[in-house]
């Protein structure tokens, strides 16, 4: 692997990423991951290239793949650069085989790879991976980045900003006065509401968590509690310009309403990392063919927001090597609040909203 090619490519990136830069300067001398075989499965984007650099500089033997989701394509310039630099890259999950020390995973796709064996531990990036990893029978450490306050910086700021940017770029720049139904008021849903509300739209929030609904009502949004075939919800969906899904629940819409019950004029948008609609809804019915809408953007999440999360995902490799933990566990404490504070101080951004529970 010609790391210099990757470094030249990354040096053209416009944007700030101090957490990953700090990691690179620390790891380039120490080489803490020397010879470690890492399987890297997250969406392959321009930002991911910045995340890979410190892993290579630390001496890791990285195999790069791309998150397998309907409609989600890897960025071709990144695939080309990695291939050209001689990186080990395989986009087809069925063709990946062998033993790896660590999986840096997203949506718990590595445990489903039949010919892959992980020997030291796993690090999961997002909420959708939680049900699978928390039930995985293994003594190996599994760190969930989602079980942290740090992850709120992505969901409540970065993903929300990117969602609205993507709607304006790919759907319409005219949002004022339009009606949105937002299903899921967790980290991602709150971020979307925060940025959508700046566009003077009407937002109705749907969630199964009553406390979250009270918080949504206090923030000035309409709310619908009973989601199981409630007439109120169907009416709201039928009257909406767009319905945005951010629950992480596969097949949720299909479990509520058949495609024939919702008019074709209502836009259905996915922001979750799963197919929240189900097979009854063909990809063509959903904006962006079911992919999380922000992944149509050149930068699906601005580096400024995702930098500390990417750095923490990488740094968990050191925790795995230390061998202090076993089984499914949250992001180590030293990578959580200290990172949140450092980010908030550096950019002067008030993050008190992330402590909502």
Which residues in this chain contact ligand NAD in the complex, by CB under 6 A?
126-128, 154-155, 159, 183-189, 206-209, 212, 227, 246-249, 252, 271-274, 292, 294, 300-301
Contact 211, 205 (CB under 8 A): no
CB of 208 to ligand NAD, least distance (A): 5
Nearer to ligand NAD by Cβ, of 300 and 308: the residue is 300
CA distance 91 to 41: 9
Distance in Å, CB of 217 to ligand NAD, minimum: 14
Nearer to ligand NAD, 58 or 300 (CB): 300
- Give exposure, 207-234, as e/b (b: 16+ Cβ within 10 Å): beeeebbebbeebebbbbeebeeeeebe
For 155, 207, 351, the CA distances from 249, given in Å and listed in that order, are: 16, 12, 27
Report in angstroms how near the CB of residue 331 gets to ligand NAD at its nearest: 13
- Between 26 and 257, name the residue whose CB sits nearer to ligand NAD: 257
Q: Which residue is nearest to ligand NAD (CB)?
A: 186
In the complex, the smallest distance separating the C-beta of residue 291 from ligand NAD, rounded to whole angstroms, is 9
Quote the least distance from Cβ 135 to ligand NAD, whole Å.
16
Q: Which is nearer to ligand NAD, 3 or 297 (CB)?
A: 297
Buried b (16+ CB within 10 A) or exposed e, 314-351: bbbbebbbeeebeebbebbeebbeebbeebeeeeeeeb
* CA–CA gap between residue 228 and residue 226 (Å, rounded): 6
Q: Closest CB to ligand NAD among 188 and 267? A: 188
Minimum Å gap between C-beta 229 and ligand NAD is 12
* Cα R_g (the chain), whole angstroms: 20
Q: Which bin fits 184, alpha (ψ -120 to 50), beta or left (φ > 0)?
A: left
Residue 328: enclosing H or E segment and its boundaries?
A: strand 327-330
Minimum separation from the CB atom of position 227 to ligand NAD (A): 5
Question: Which is nearer to ligand NAD, 63 or 126 (by Cβ)?
Answer: 126
| Residue 23: both structure tokens together | 């990691």
Of 85 and 311, nearer to ligand NAD (C-beta) is 311
Torsion region of 15: left, alpha or beta (phi above 0 gives left; psi -120 to 50 gives alpha): left
301: exposed, middle or buried (Cβ count in 10 Å: 0-12, 13-18, 19+): buried
- Give me the least distance between CB of 245 and ligand NAD, in Å please: 8
- Min dist. Cβ of residue 105 to ligand NAD (A): 12
Nearer to ligand NAD, 37 or 151 (CB): 151
**Cα–Cα distance between 63 and 60 in angstroms, integer?**
9
| Cβ closest to ligand NAD, residue 121 vs residue 186 | 186
- DSSP secondary structure string for all residues of 137-149: --SSEEEETTSSS
Tokens 């990953």 -> residue? 20
Q: How far apart are CA 257 and CA 109, in angstroms?
A: 28
């Amino acid at each position: 692997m010609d790391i210099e090619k990757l470094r030249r490519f990354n040096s053209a990136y416009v944007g700030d990423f101090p957490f990953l830069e700090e990691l690179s300067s620390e790891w380039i001398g120490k080489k803490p991951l020397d010879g470690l075989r890492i399987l890297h499965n997250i969406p392959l984007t321009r930002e991911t290239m910045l995340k890979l650099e410190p892993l290579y500089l630390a001496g890791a033997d990285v195999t790069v793949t791309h998150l397998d989701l309907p409609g989600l394509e890897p960025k071709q310039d990144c695939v080309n650069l990695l291939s050209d630099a001689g990186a080990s890259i395989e986009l087809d999950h069925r063709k990946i085989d062998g033993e790896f020390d660590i999986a840096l995973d997203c949506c718990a796709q590595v445990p489903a790879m039949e010919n892959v064996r992980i020997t030291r531990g796993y690090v999961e990036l997002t909420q959708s991976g939680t049900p699978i990893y928390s039930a995985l029978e293994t003594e190996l450490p599994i760190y969930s980045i989602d079980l942290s306050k740090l992850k709120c910086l992505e969901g409540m700021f970065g993903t929300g900003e990117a969602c609205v940017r993507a709607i304006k770029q790919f759907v319409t720049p005219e949002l004022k006065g339009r009606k949105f139904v937002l299903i899921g008021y967790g980290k991602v849903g709150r971020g979307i509401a925060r940025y959508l509300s700046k566009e003077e739209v009407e937002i109705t929030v749907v969630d199964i968590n009553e406390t979250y609904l009270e918080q949504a009502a206090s923030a000035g949004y309409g709310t619908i509690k009973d989601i199981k075939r409630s007439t109120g919800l169907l009416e709201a969906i039928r009257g909406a310009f767009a319905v945005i899904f951010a629950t992480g629940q596969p097949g949720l819409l299909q479990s509520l309403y058949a495609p024939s019950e919702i008019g074709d004029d209502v836009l259905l948008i996915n922001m979750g990392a799963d197919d929240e609609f189900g097979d009854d809804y063909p990809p063509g019915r959903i904006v962006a063919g079911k992919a999380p809408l922000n992944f149509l953007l050149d930068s699906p999440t601005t580096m400024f927001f995702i930098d500390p999360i990417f750095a923490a995902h990488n740094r968990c490799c050191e925790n795995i090597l230390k061998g202090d933990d076993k089984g499914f566990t949250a992001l180590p404490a030293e990578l959580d609040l200290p990172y949140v504070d450092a980010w908030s101080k550096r950019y002067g951004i008030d993050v008190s909203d992330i402590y909502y529970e």
